[in-house]
Amino acid sequence: MAPAGRVGHHRHVPPDAPVLPAAALVAHLRPRKGPRSLVDTLGRRVTYLRLSVTDRCNDRCTYCMPPEGVPLDPARTILRFEEIEVVVRAFVEAGVRVVRVTGGEPLVRKGIVDLLARLGRIETPSGDRLRLALSTNGERLAPLADAVVRAGVRRINVSVDSLDPARFRTITRRGSLDRVRAGLRAVCGRPGVTVKTNTVAIAGFNDDELARIARWAWSLGAVPRFIELMPMASGRLFVPGRLMDAATIRARLAAELEARLEPVPGPEGAGPARYERVVDRATGRTMGIVGIISPMTENFCAGCNRVRLDSRGRLHGCLGADDTVDLRAALAAGGPAGVRAAIDRALARKPAGHRFARDGTGGPRKSMISIGG
């Protein structure tokens, strides 16, 4: 077995050990019939798949990966596009309606636009288009924006933790705020495309910027979202004092925007984010909507509607747990029917919830970069 690479060695050579020959995979792309819902043992219906297409990233966010990087999977172990398509089709036939492509950084995967276009053509059993979403750091978004939208992506989340270029550089270790701003400008305002910004709220780092980030996102036509810091990677990158909890995020936004926050329903299939209308206290005018993702202090696991597939084809029932089921092996052994059976096995083991604790314990061994959020 080839040794795993290190971060910085971005090689996307075609895998040299295909699990199934391409012709066999193509035969599996035809629609087939089967039970059309995925319900776990707690009655939670899974309709949303987060699909990591690479473990590589062009940034090095301090809360996401250690300074020395993480071991990279050899390219031949990463799912090929044909395999991804067969697996995604199996999920869609079983009831998944939204696929969010993530990474690492998905836009560094060679041929990503072709993959998005393949996924964008998938139809649900009732003939609707699969809803295709993308989470990106935005660094490569500007030049790819037209192609990404043409491929069928209709929801785009872009991570922006600071509007101060020096701070942005500090948190991403190498990112360019100008490039990310250009990426956002390139996708905002397009008809039918929803854009959100994702900001990890970090006490003592960007807690004085949340209101500014919200106003800026609204000015672009995007929905700002603020995320509580999570203790992934066994808590190695987590500093308890840096956690800004949802109540503090709301209070800070309300004070600095001179507004009151009123809960509103999220968009359909919104998942974990709680949305709030921000209403100007003086005029009663709605300034905009914000989303808050608060796994640490307002547990939402009882309503979890998602599973996650990593770039090697391992299905994770929970962001906060290391248990996986190998769909690549299931595909090789049993084709789409084997994949479906493996998905059912994973659902039967989907944990009731994560065990993240505010002191940084309870997290999984896996890092965020390896699963994509």
Q: Which residues bind ligand SAM (CB under 6 A)?
A: 57, 63-64, 102-103, 105, 135-137, 159, 198, 200, 227, 229-230, 232, 368-369, 372-373
Residue 180 token pair: 């990310």
120/175 with CB nearer ligand SAM? 175
User: Is residue 73 involved in binding ligand SF4 (CB under 6 A)?
Assistant: no
Spatial neighbors of 268 by CB under 8 A, at least 6 apart, are: none
In angstroms, the first-to-last Cα distance of the chain is 28
Position with the least CB separation from ligand SAM: 373
Residue 289 CA to residue 171 CA, distance in Å, equals 25
Q: Which does 227 bind (CB under 5 to 8 A by kind): ligand SF4, ligand SAM, none?
A: ligand SAM
Q: Which does 229 bind (CB under 5 to 8 A by kind): ligand SAM, ligand SF4, none?
A: ligand SAM
47/54 with CB nearer ligand SAM? 54
User: Is residue 310 involved in binding ligand SF4 (CB under 6 A)?
Assistant: no
Scanning the structure block, which residue is given the tokens 């659902």? 347
Residue 66 token pair: 């250690």
Residue 173 token pair: 């270790």
99/259 with CB nearer ligand SF4? 99
* Shortest distance, position 198 Cβ to ligand SF4, whole Å: 9
For 137, the 3-state DSSP assignment is coil
Residue 245 token pair: 């909890």
Residue 213 CA to residue 163 CA, distance in Å, equals 7
User: Is residue 199 involved in binding ligand SF4 (CB under 6 A)?
Assistant: no
Q: Which does 92 bind (CB under 5 to 8 A by kind): ligand SAM, ligand SF4, none?
A: none
User: Is residue 59 involved in binding ligand SF4 (CB under 6 A)?
Assistant: yes
Q: Which amino acid is at 335?
A: G
320/373 with CB nearer ligand SAM? 373
Residue 103 token pair: 């990474």
Residue 308 CA to residue 299 CA, distance in Å, equals 18
* Shortest distance, position 198 Cβ to ligand SAM, whole Å: 4
User: Is residue 103 involved in binding ligand SF4 (CB under 6 A)?
Assistant: yes
Q: Which does 198 bind (CB under 5 to 8 A by kind): ligand SF4, ligand SAM, none?
A: ligand SAM
Q: Which does 65 bind (CB under 5 to 8 A by kind): ligand SF4, ligand SAM, none?
A: ligand SF4
Using CB under 6 A, pick the residue from 46, 57, 144, 158 that binds ligand SF4: 57
Side-chain-facing half-sphere of 120: CA atoms under 13 Å: 17
Residue 342 CA to residue 361 CA, distance in Å, equals 30
Residue 42 token pair: 């707690």
Q: Which does 230 bind (CB under 5 to 8 A by kind): ligand SAM, ligand SF4, none?
A: ligand SAM
* Sheet of 324-326, strands arranged across: 259-264, 274-280, 286-293, 223-228, 194-201, 153-159, 131-136, 98-102, 48-52, 306-309, 314-316, 324-326
64/261 with CB nearer ligand SF4? 64
Cis peptide before 138, with omega less than 30 degrees from 0?
no
Residues lying near ligand SF4 in the complex (CB under 6 A) = 57, 59-61, 64-65, 103-105, 137, 159, 368-369
